[in-house]
Structure 1
Amino acid sequence: MSHGKMLPITCLLALTLGTSLSVHASENSFAKAYRDYQASVEKGDVANIEASAKNAYQLGEAQYAKDSVDLANLAINWASAIEKQVAPNPFVEQNLSQTAKAHELYQLALANYKAHYGKEAIELIDPLLGAAQTAVEAKAAKGYLLDAIDLAEKSDKKKLIADVKMAAFNRLSNTELYTRSVRSYAFDAYDIYKEILPENAIARVKATYIVGAVEFAEKHDKKAEPLLQEVVKQFEVLNYSHPYALSAHAYLVELYERQGKRELATAHCIAIGSMQPWTDEQEQKPLFRQFPNYPMSYVQQRKSGWVQLKFTVDEQGFVKNPEIIASKGGALFEKESIETLNKWRYAPKFENGKAVAAQTSVQLDYTIEN
């Protein structure tokens, strides 16, 4: 790459395939704004990245032609910064205007890239994925993603194919467009990561978690168990906490509990307890719970009620000594509540690095829908 050219700092897949940003050597306000953006990214200054990316883009509009690749790169930088700012809730009302702006910027970048690189160029993948992430409608997002997958597969770059398919799964998995095909994106990506990445590569570990979570949700316990165990193992090797590690432990608690393997669940209850920064005011939440049976005689009477109970969560996360604090509706609600609560599992509370017994309470509500 020739002197006097700079790569865009932020790209979704870090594609550096000849895209460049031309800046005059002489000092001007745009050059300073772009350096401020670079410095913010290098420092990880989250508070200033979006503002400096926006400033660089707005000054760049006077510096570069509207259909230039340079302006497209600045648009991607700003759009990506907006995405990070509104994550993980881009489509809640207070974030919609920012998400819409990011989508507009990605569309501009996509149009400029198509004009410069052609409609079959690998460089289009970044703005396609960005447009998919910021599209309000899942159907529109799917269109961008299918185009990105097609380009990735034509490139024959395995890591790129896996990254794009995993991005497609993540965008569509919680929408009405989730299908077996969308499910397969995660499994395809996982297979590629297994082939080309070491066991402790974070992309492979995350893919292992996602596939394990899908198998768990589908109640394929024999397939889910080794995958989730692998996630736990790798995060122990990586020696830092991650939400996926916490979730993998939680899934394993439920998996073993629903199989009646309570002792196997215990290690994961304790692991979760040790990962949480406990406070005196913190309410303990169940890792595994079953809902009580509604007494049939009360169903026939259309009787509703509730039961408040206090109990101890012991050092292994078992419920001990449940007691009724108050109740409404009848003794059968109390009986069912105590029987059910004894099957629940919690993460034990930790103090000074050691599991301790702790008291907590819960209310079980019994209602009949009209």
Structure 2
Amino acid sequence: MKPQHLALFVGLSLSAFTNNALASQTDNAKAAFSTAYQSYLNAVETKHDIEQAAKRAYTTGLTFYGDKSDNTANLAINYAKAITPPSTTSNKKNIRQQRYSLYSQAYTILADNHGKNALQTLDALLGKAENAKSASLAEDHLERIIDIAKAQNKPKFVADMQFEAASLLASKFAHKKFRAAQKLLNEADEYYRENLDENTVERIKTDFLVASFAQSKRKYKKAIERLNHVVSVFDSNLSFDHNAELTAHSKLVNLYEKTGQSEQATKHCLAIAEMVPWKDSQEQTPVYRQPPKYPVNKARQNTDGIVVLQFDVDTAGFVKNSSVISSEGGHAFEKSALEALKKWRYAPKFENGSPVVASTQVQIDFKINR
């Protein structure tokens, strides 16, 4: 149930009207909608001005189809999905309310037309859950989705909906609904592990989410086990690199470093290095980064700082030979930056299939939140 813009069948057979004015008005509404909907399809294809086009398609479609048509419901869903998240937090609440209202309108129409247990309502229900004003309301909508799935007597479909619900609760309401999300995830995971091959997308996605849950509870051993399973699946079944495998390697570097297993972390640093080319022209991104401590005296003085460092990344991805190129704010920032950098890990540079020592730079900014 990933967000997708829905296709819409435009052609309707209209009853003949004896009133020529009414017929003309209907023809005009149909023409206006057809133009607006085509503009929307073009916007989706070009990925440009989708929100504005979706709004126009929705408003003209509402006039043409009325407020009881499935087409109007689908147009409302399209518009809700197209609304761009705000760049600032000030309007997030209003955007959420606007989306929720559109999804609610769509749900009411679809439930009236097909019944509250109909599959047609699932997309609208998921949208309501994603934009609910409270964790409890979101959970209510998700429970409704799972109940509808169970009524279909398709166990995998139920597991899929449980996974989607767990993902949503974890991403938006983890602080309030962690246990509920974990229960749903465990049920989906149990079904997948018993019924699906280990190289399926569902198994891999579940491994990542289980690992995330485990890490949040400091159950590092369990998280490491699941992520290593992801890596082994890709190594055994694919002859090419994949972003999911790269992500698993990166997360394992962090977990092994957190648990003091630098030797194990090195294996994954090397794996990342083989997958991602070293770019001399760019600042390299650390695979594991420990934030520097803000000097206490500088914090008290409300002072910012900048430190630019040069260093080598050895063949195992460790930082060596670090030195200060330039700095602003004083020696305390330099000392803190150097101490933190010692614990960072990088994916080393590869040449002709083997790791080599390479030099790079990094700028560390110290800023007080004012």
Q: Name 2:56's counterpart in structure 1.
A: 55
Aligned AA (2:348):
P
Q: Using a 3 Å threshold, how does the CA distance of structure 1 residues 293 and 131 change in structure 2: closer, same or farther?
A: closer
Q: Using a 3 Å threshold, how does the CA distance of structure 1 residues 159 and 309 change in structure 2: closer, same or farther?
A: same
Structure 1 residue 127, shift from structure 2 partner? 0.7
Counterparts of 1:325 and 1:49 in 2: how far apart (Å)? Answer: 46
Counterparts of 1:337 and 1:67 in 2: how far apart (Å)? Answer: 62
CA contact (8 A) 2:280 2:360 kept: no
Q: Using a 3 Å threshold, how does the CA distance of structure 1 residues 116 and 178 change in structure 2: closer, same or farther?
A: same
Q: Name 1:7's counterpart in structure 2.
A: none
Counterparts of 1:324 and 1:37 in 2: how far apart (Å)? Answer: 54
Superposed CA deviations along residues 207-230 of structure 1, whole A, max 9, x for unmatched, are 211112222333333322231022
Q: Name 1:253's counterpart in structure 2.
A: 253
Structure 1 residue 166, shift from structure 2 partner? 2.4
CA contact (8 A) 2:249 2:271 kept: yes
TM-score (norm: length of structure 2)? 0.72
Q: Name 1:133's counterpart in structure 2.
A: 130
Counterparts of 2:304 and 2:63 in 1: how far apart (Å)? Answer: 68
Aligned AA (2:126):
L
Q: Name 1:215's counterpart in structure 2.
A: 214
Superposed CA deviations along residues 221-242 of structure 1, whole A, max 9, x for unmatched, are 3322231022234455454533
TM-score (norm: length of structure 1)? 0.72
Matching of residue 184 in structure 1 with residue 183 in structure 2: yes
Structure 1 residue 249, shift from structure 2 partner? 1.3
Structure 1 residue 268, shift from structure 2 partner? 1.5
CA contact (8 A) 2:277 2:349 kept: no
Percentage identity across aligned positions? 35
Structure 1 residue 143, shift from structure 2 partner? 2.8
Q: How does 1:210-249 map to 2 (within 5 A)?
A: 210-235=209-234, 237=237, 239=240, 241-242=242-243, 244-249=244-249
Q: Using a 3 Å threshold, how does the CA distance of structure 1 residues 13 and 53 change in structure 2: closer, same or farther?
A: closer
Matching of residue 160 in structure 1 with residue 157 in structure 2: yes
Superposed CA deviations along residues 172-206 of structure 1, whole A, max 9, x for unmatched, are 22433132222222232223333444433323322
Aligned AA (2:70):
V
Q: Name 2:316's counterpart in structure 1.
A: 316
Q: Using a 3 Å threshold, how does the CA distance of structure 1 residues 120 and 329 change in structure 2: closer, same or farther?
A: same
CA contact (8 A) 2:167 2:209 kept: no
Could you tell me which runs of 5 or more consecutive residues in structure 2 were left unpaired when the two chains were aligned. 15-26
Q: Name 2:23's counterpart in structure 1.
A: none
Counterparts of 1:276 and 1:259 in 2: how far apart (Å)? Answer: 25
Could you tell me which runs of 5 or more consecutive residues in structure 1 were left unpaired when the two chains were aligned. 1-10
Q: How many residues align?
A: 341
Q: How does 1:202-351 map to 2 (within 5 A)?
A: 202-235=201-234, 237=237, 239=240, 241-242=242-243, 244-276=244-276, 279-280=279-280, 282-289=282-289, 310-323=310-323, 334=335, 341-349=341-349
CA contact (8 A) 1:305 1:329 kept: no
Moved more, 70-79 or 90-99: 90-99
Q: CA RMSD in A?
A: 4.3
Q: Using a 3 Å threshold, how does the CA distance of structure 1 residues 257 and 321 change in structure 2: closer, same or farther?
A: same
Say which SS state the counterpart of residue 315 (structure 1) adopts.
Answer: coil
Aligned AA (1:317):
G
Structure 1 residue 360, shift from structure 2 partner? 2.4
CA contact (8 A) 2:308 2:361 kept: no
